[in-house]
Structure 1
Amino acid sequence: MTKEAYVALVTCFNQDETLNYEATRKQVRRQIDAGNNILCAGTNGDFSALTFDEKVKLTAEVVNEAKGRCKVIVNAGMPATFETVMLSKEFDRIGVDGIAVITPFFIACTQDGLERHYLTVADSVNTPIYLYDIPARTQNHIEPETARRLAAHPNIAGIKDSGGQQETLEAYMQVGKEMDNFDVYSGPDHLVHWALQNGAAGCISGLGNVLPNVLAEIVSCFNAGDEEGAAKAQEIYGNFRKDLYGLGFPPAMVKRALWVMDPSVGASRQPALLPDAAQDKQVEALLKKYGQI
């Protein structure tokens, strides 16, 4: 099975915090050039700061720019099943390759509630649905046995695991091995190569915004049977991750690093991290160290 790399694409903003669609399109082209696919409006894409209509237009712009040159998955997850279904239907109409659904946030869910949530969404559209687990951000976690039950639904195609725990990722991958047509995508940037070796269908990475070619190299080397090349690329990726994330909140640091490379991406909407000249100097030094500027 050929493995795939997706980048959880940043959303670009103008100085007045309106969406900068042209700058976002530029980032789409950059990922296509590297050989990566795209996850739109995810946690690295400021999805929680976007309005319903903005998410729909953003997704249409990304799909239009991609023109089939890469796959596009979009995150539709919201706290309520009702709005998640509404968004999913819009994305279904636009024509994406998959719809990721982050677990509801703010609302504390039982496993039964999560199961009902995902089954309702999966029944509402034709586009394949991907579960999206990131409990540190949502406070809700899809237990592996819940994922197993959901995997039986013909329109639930897999899961993105961004929990960061290797044992949970292993449990999801076991579900993937035992259930037909249920793909597991690794979210943690330090586990890309390991996940590919152990049965993941691919990865969905935020750090790939900054190092798209290194991410693509991990996956392309693995697909070519070059384990040494994949390991070397993973070492670079993991070291950069450790250095960059040591400076602050990971999604914010990804956006700031990209901003230092290309100011057209803009800052995130408030109350996200404000520009910090001293911190930007540290980021600039890291980018120089890793040959990015």
Structure 2
Amino acid sequence: MTCETFVALVTCFDDKEAIDYAATRAQVRRQVEAGNNIMCAGTNGDFTALTFEEKVRLTEEVVDEVGGKARVIVNAGMPATYETVLLAREFDRIGVDGVAVITPFFIECTQDGLVRHFSTVADAITTPVYLYDIPARTQNHIEPDTARALARHGNIAGIKDSGGAQATLEAYLAVSKEAEGFDVYSGPDSLVLWAFQNGAKGCISGLGNVMPKVLADICAGFNDGDLAKAEAAQATFTAFRTDLYKLGYPPALVKRSLYLMDKSVGASRQPALPPSPEQDAKIAALLAAHGLA
């Protein structure tokens, strides 16, 4: 099986917190040139801070910029099934390669409720749907047996696991071995190569915003049978991740790292905590130590 990488693309903002579509397109080009596919409107794309209309236009701009040179997945997940379906239908109309659906947040769900939620979205569109599990942020978790039940739906094509627990990833991988056409995408950046080696179809990475070529090299090395190349790239990726994520909330740190490399990406929308000179100095030192400055 040939594996693939997606980057959970940052959404760029100007100094008035409006989306900078030109700067976002530049980030798309940077990733495609490195060899990565795109996931937009995800956790690293500040999706919770975007309006319905912005998500639609953002997807249109990303798809147009990609121009068929890479695959595009977009996150449609919202707390209510109703709005999730409305967004998914817009993305279906635009023409993406997959619609990711994050577990509902704020609303506490039963496993049966999750089955109904995801099935309703998958019934409403023709684009393949990917489950998106990130319980630390949503407080709802897709149990492996629930993933197994949803894998039987004809339009649910896989799952993105951002839980961070290797045991859960292993359980989802077991489901993928049982259910033909159900692919697993790893979220934790420290497990990219491990996931490839254990049957994952790919990864969806936030850290790839900062190190796009390193991420692509993990995949290229694995696909080419060059394990030394893949292991070296994974070691580089993991080392920077370990140092950076000690400083706080990973998506904010990824965005700020990229900002210090390229001011055009802007800051995150409020009420995200504003960056401090002290934090910027620590991030800048890490960038320099890892050869990224």
Q: What residue identity is the alignment partner of 2:249? A: F
**Pairs within 5 Å for 1:118-197:** 118-197=118-197
The residue that corresponds to 1:99 in the other structure is 99
Distance 2:140 2:112 in 1: 12
Q: What residue identity is the alignment partner of 2:140? A: N
Aligned residues: 293
Distance 2:147 2:194 in 1: 21
Distance 2:149 2:220 in 1: 32
- Measured against aligned partners, the alpha-carbon deviations of 1:54-101 in whole angstroms (never above 9, x if no partner) come to 000000000000001110000000000000000000000000000000
- Measured against aligned partners, the alpha-carbon deviations of 1:163-202 in whole angstroms (never above 9, x if no partner) come to 0000000000000011010000000000001000000001
The residue that corresponds to 1:254 in the other structure is 254
The alignment partner of 1:65 has SS state of helix
- How many percent of aligned residue pairs carry the same amino acid? 69
TM-score normalised by L of structure 1: 0.99
- Measured against aligned partners, the alpha-carbon deviations of 1:141-163 in whole angstroms (never above 9, x if no partner) come to 00000000100111000000000
Deviation, 1:273, is 2.4
The residue that corresponds to 1:50 in the other structure is 50
The alignment partner of 2:160 has SS state of strand
The alignment partner of 1:74 has SS state of strand
Distance 1:38 1:106 in 2: 27
TM-score normalised by L of structure 2: 0.99
Q: What residue identity is the alignment partner of 2:99? A: I
Q: What residue identity is the alignment partner of 2:190? A: H
Distance 2:27 2:290 in 1: 20
Q: What residue identity is the alignment partner of 1:245? A: Y
The alignment partner of 1:73 has SS state of strand
Deviation, 1:275, is 2.1
Runs ≥4 residues deviating over 2 A: none
The residue that corresponds to 1:277 in the other structure is 277
Q: What residue identity is the alignment partner of 2:149? A: R
Which runs of 5 or more structure 1 residues have no equivalent in the other structure?
none
**Pairs within 5 Å for 1:18-57:** 18-57=18-57
Across the aligned residues of Structure 1 and Structure 2, the Cα RMSD in angstroms comes to: 0.6
